[in-house]
Structure 1
Amino acid sequence: MRVSTSSFYEQSRATIGVQQGNLLKVQTQLGTGSKILAPSDDPLGATRALAVSQAIALNTQYATSRGQATQTLTLEETTLQSVTSVLDNVRQSIVQAGNGTLSDADRASIATVLQSNLAQLQGLANADDGNGQFLFAGFKSGSPPFVSQADGSVTYAGDQGQRLLQVDVSRQLSSTDDGRSIFQSVQGGAGYVSASPDTNKGSVVFSQLSVTDRGDKNFGKDFAINFSSSPASYTVSTIATPSEVVTTATPFVPGQTINFGGVNIKLTGTPADGDSLNVKQAQNAGADIFSSIRDVITALNKPTEGLGAPAQANLLNALSTANRKVVNAADTVSTVRASVGSRLQELDALSVSGDSRTLANKSYLSSIQDLDYATAISEFYQRQTALQASQQTFVKIQNISLFNYL
């Protein structure tokens, strides 16, 4: 069979091209460390590798979200710890102000300290994350949530939105808490708060209220205790529309403990005609801690020296009310801190499981696309030898001529 020169050159060129292509492919695999250079190399493997790579990228995003949530919650927990310290200082000052040996000047000094505590508390309530995002503003995180008004009151300018982050495949977690639920709310089991108007003319002082019967039909309602002086007596009715009489006119004896609606309260002193006390559920008695501190500051700045027992009684009642409200506020902060700690603990657990999942995915991805270097190097030398053989064969056959044999 006669092979034309053009056919010989074409076949040689094609053979050497194939050998060079095979060698180049192995070289590229060695350079990239991957055995799948194009989907056509392994369609099923390429599809699986793409799915696993997407899963790894998604897990990386979840890890980023967990890091952001951890940073924000840690900052919130630190801030709330400082809030707890401030509330402890406020309570200590209130207890100190109840010392009967203090003068008006002494109580005014305590009021100044409380004013400083109030400013510090507002500053903590307006804490941000360092990037201009306020921790306790809800969705309105671009501006301070607690704003001072001209009359000295503090109002909440945020909302009750929760900023949720997707921290795992099926888990969204709140990275912040709104300020209203921390600084202007109380827990459901906070109980009752007793208070008296500063217009009382008598010297009745109440002590801490106790719960005696939660099953009483009137338990959970708000009550008003109204006094008459001729003769000294009291009635208890609900604060509602319409009002219901709980205790009809009953003689008042200083130092006695009166019972109504499943609770009891001890009263001392002598009431004046028209005096009253309120016993309300904590959420109905004013849960704003800023207002509570302002009220006690106002009470401490009122002089009592030379004004007799009524002024002293109003002061003691105001201190008792403020003390109860500060305790309730501290309990609320503690509850939120517990929630923050629980979320941080969950984030730690999710991070561990997320890292394990990422490690498993990377291991699986490696088994799909990573190159076996021993096999690849062996194939490289094999392809290189084949290419060299093809090239040398072409050269030798090219030089064959009848003139060499004449």
Structure 2
Amino acid sequence: MKVSTSQFFKQAVDIIGQQHSDVAKQQARLGSGKQLVKPSDDASKAALIQRLKSGLTAQESYGAGLVRLTDRLSLEESAITSTENILLNIKDLALRAASQSMGPESRKIMAVEIGFLRDELMALANTRDFNGNYIFAGSMVSDAPYSQDTDGSIIYQGDDTVIEIMVSDQRKLELNSPGESVFRSLIRNGNDGLYSGDLTPGNEATLLTFPDSHKDFALRLAEFKAHLGKANAQARVEIEVETSGIDFSDTNQININGIDITGAPYTTTNDLITAINAQKDVTGAEAELSSTGTIIIKNIVGKEGNIITISDSDDVGVNPLALTNGSYSASQEDLAAQAQAQLNYDNYYSDLRSSGYSDEIDWDTFQGISNQAYDLSYSNDYLPGAPEAKRIGFFDVIGDLIESLELSDTNRIDRGIDEMDSLIQSTALQIADIGSRMNIADAQINIMDETVIRFKNLISSAEDLDYSTAVTELSSEMLALEAAQSSFARISQLSLFDYIR
């Protein structure tokens, strides 16, 4: 093999150049403190480092959101705790005002004091955060959520939007509490759940002669019976039949709940209805012509909720009604409501019968009132559940209490005290909810801190340079470079003529 001088010099220059490059790389790594000076040094490791840094950025973003969340919840907790304390003060004033020893003028003074406390509550409801946003306004953070109307009532002008923030890859937490979830309204039941539908003149006159306790018993029993009437009406099975599909020439008879309806072929719609109703006591189903001209087959009174099975007497799968042979039933939800309503009525009736009042009660009148309540509710002429019940806003409750104190109306003051208990309870539950969210946020922050440390350790392991190892490698590379240079200097001076001499 021949080695020319030019080839020898080229190989030597390449080796020395490579050594220079290796030394330069080591020096660059030492200068930057990183294992990789540029991604091309190790593409797979560079990709790993980038993924780790992206994960770290996401965790730090979640951490910033958690800090924001805890600051916001702390502000809400402070405002709602102050609200609870003011409500307790209002209740204390109302309890004092309810005392028989308190005169009208003293109650008016307390009404003024409660008015000032209501203004403080409104200020708390319009609390702002550090950025000037209203914290109880839902998403409408630029405008005060509560304002006073022209008639003096305080109205809510925010919305019910709940803002959620991501606190991990898989978890969200609520950032805010809309005003109506904090300063909650309540249901005021005007007649305490007693029956309040129409009564016949006879029942009304008899009821007026009852002692108050007996009157309450009668109306409560009637209300349970009204609920039963409504439940039975809803559980009633009704099958609608289009008259255009009826085959009046078919001698095949209809079979309802295993009973053949005789008379086929049925000449007219009325003949068919008459034939079905002739067997209703046996089948438990009756028929009627609706206002739209269709035939309605339904449970008879007292059989509501029972299954109605339609077939044909010849069992050929086709019946004169053009209905699919099979069973028709109420929904499970309606049947469950029916069973519960029956149980509620039976339990209350049984309790009355076994009470010490049983011998004093005019049971005929009680049953008359109950049956009337049932019939009205069954026909949808009465809606059970205290029709006077209505929703009262948080600040309206306090406003009504102020008015009752100004009028020295002790009955309304007592009602106001009960309603203040409801508001206090609602506020306490909201504080507990915020406390729960704060605990979750604190736990998530601890998890986040540990996760961030793990990410930083992984990044450091993949990216940061081990200086002691790098210095050793640099020394080795420089020694190799010097050796290559020295060797080349010596060998390049050699000549064949030196051996000829």
User: What are the residue-to-residue correspondences of 1:52-67 with 2, within 5 Å?
Assistant: 52-67=52-67
Which among 216, 232, 235 is matched to residue 258 of structure 1? 216
Q: Which amino acid aligns with 2:394?
A: I
CA distance in 2, matches of 1:327, 1:11: 96
Paired amino acid for 1:258: D
Partner of 2:69: 69
**Structure 1 position 107, deviation (Å):** 1.5
1:205 — aligned with what? none
Match of 1:343?
437
**Separation in 2, partners of 1:145, 1:244:** 45
Q: What letter corresponds to residue 120 of structure 1 in structure 2?
A: E
| 1:364 maps to amino acid | L
Correspondence for 2:182: 182
SS of residue in 2 equivalent to 1:155? strand
Give the corresponding residue for 1:289. Answer: 394
Letter in 2 for 1:44: S
Higher-Rg structure is 2
In the alignment, is the contact (CA less than 8 A) between 1:195 and 1:318 conserved in 2?
A: no
More deviation in 40-49 or 116-125? 40-49
8 Å Cα contact 2:26/2:474 also seen in 1: yes
Q: How has the CA–CA distance of structure 1 residues 282 and 366 changed in structure 2, closer, same or farther, with 3 Å as cutoff? A: farther
TM-score (norm 1): 0.72
Q: Shift in Å at residue 280 of structure 1?
A: 7.8
* More deviation, 372-381/152-161: 372-381
Is contact 2:72–2:129 with CA below 8 Å preserved after alignment?
yes
CA contact (8 A) 2:36 2:42 kept: yes
User: What corresponds to 1:237 in structure 2?
Assistant: 196
Q: Residue type of the partner of 2:406?
A: N
Q: Letter of the aligned partner of 1:52 in structure 2?
A: L
Q: 1:33–1:371: 8 Å Cα contact kept in structure 2?
A: yes
Which residue pairs with 1:83 in the alignment? Answer: 83
TM-aligned CA distance change 1:131 to 1:325, over 3 Å: same
Distance 1:389 1:180 in 2: 83
1:32 is the counterpart of 2:11: no
Aligned residue for 2:405? 300
SS of 2:167 mapped into structure 1: strand
CA distance in 2, matches of 1:171, 1:343: 12
Match of 2:147, SS state, is: strand
Report the more deviating stretch, 148-157 or 291-300: 291-300
Q: Distance in 2 between matches of 1:360 and 1:110?
A: 61
Shift of 1:2: 7.0
Alignment match, 1:272: none
Which residue among 411, 414, 433 is the counterpart of 1:317?
411
Q: Which has the higher helix share?
A: 2
Matches of 2:388 and 2:456 in 1, distance apart? 53
Write the letter of the residue equivalent to 1:345: N
**In the aligned structure 2, how far is the partner of 1:321 from the partner of 1:100?**
15
When structure 1 is superposed on structure 2, of 285-294 and 64-73 the one drifting more is 285-294
Indicate the residue corresponding to 2:109 in structure 1: 109
Identical-residue share of aligned pairs (%): 26
Structure 2 vs 1, CA of residues 195 and 281 (structure 1 numbering), >3 Å: closer, same or farther?
A: closer
The residue that corresponds to 1:365 in the other structure is: 459
Q: TM-score under structure 2 normalisation?
A: 0.60
Tell me if structure 2 keeps the 8 A contact 1:134–1:142: yes
Pick one of 466, 469, 494 that aligns with 1:375: 469
Contact 1:20 1:387 in 2 (8 A): yes
Distance 1:327 1:2 in 2: 106
Instruction: Tell me if structure 1 keeps the 8 A contact 2:138–2:161.
Output: yes
Cα contact 1:193–1:282 (8 A) shared by 2: no
* Pair 401,339 (structure 1): closer, same or farther in 2 beyond 3 Å: same
Contact 2:188 2:391 in 1 (8 A): no
- Note the residue ranges of structure 1 that are not aligned, 5 or more in a row: 187-191, 197-208, 210-221, 224-235, 265-278, 305-314
Between Structure 1 and Structure 2, how many residues are aligned?
334
Distance 1:296 1:371 in 2: 74
Secondary structure at 1:258 match in 2: helix
Q: Which residue does 1:154 correspond to in 2? A: 154
Query: Which stretch of the first structure deviates more once superposed, 19-28 or 394-403?
Result: 394-403
* C-alpha distance in structure 2 between counterparts of 1:365 and 1:318, whole Å: 69
Describe the SS at the equivalent of 2:465: coil
Q: How far 1:283 sits from its partner (Å)?
A: 11
Write the distance in 1 (CA, Å) between the matches of 2:471 and 2:455: 27
Deviation at 1:327, TM superposition (A): 1.2
Aligned to 2:140: 140
Give the 3 Å change call, closer, same or farther, for CA 16–237 of structure 1 in structure 2: same
The residue matched to 1:237 in structure 2 has which SS?
coil
Distance 1:281 1:50 in 2: 66
Q: Distance in 2 between matches of 1:294 and 1:107?
A: 14
Q: CA shift at 1:401, angstroms?
A: 8.7
Alignment-mate amino acid for residue 400 of structure 2:
D
Shift of 1:373: 2.8
> For the aligned residues, what is the CA RMSD?
3.3
Alpha-carbon separation, structure 2, partners of 1:370 and 1:181: 51
Q: 2:95 maps to which residue?
A: 95
What's the counterpart of residue 15 of structure 2? 15
Deviation of residue 316 (structure 1)?
Answer: 0.7
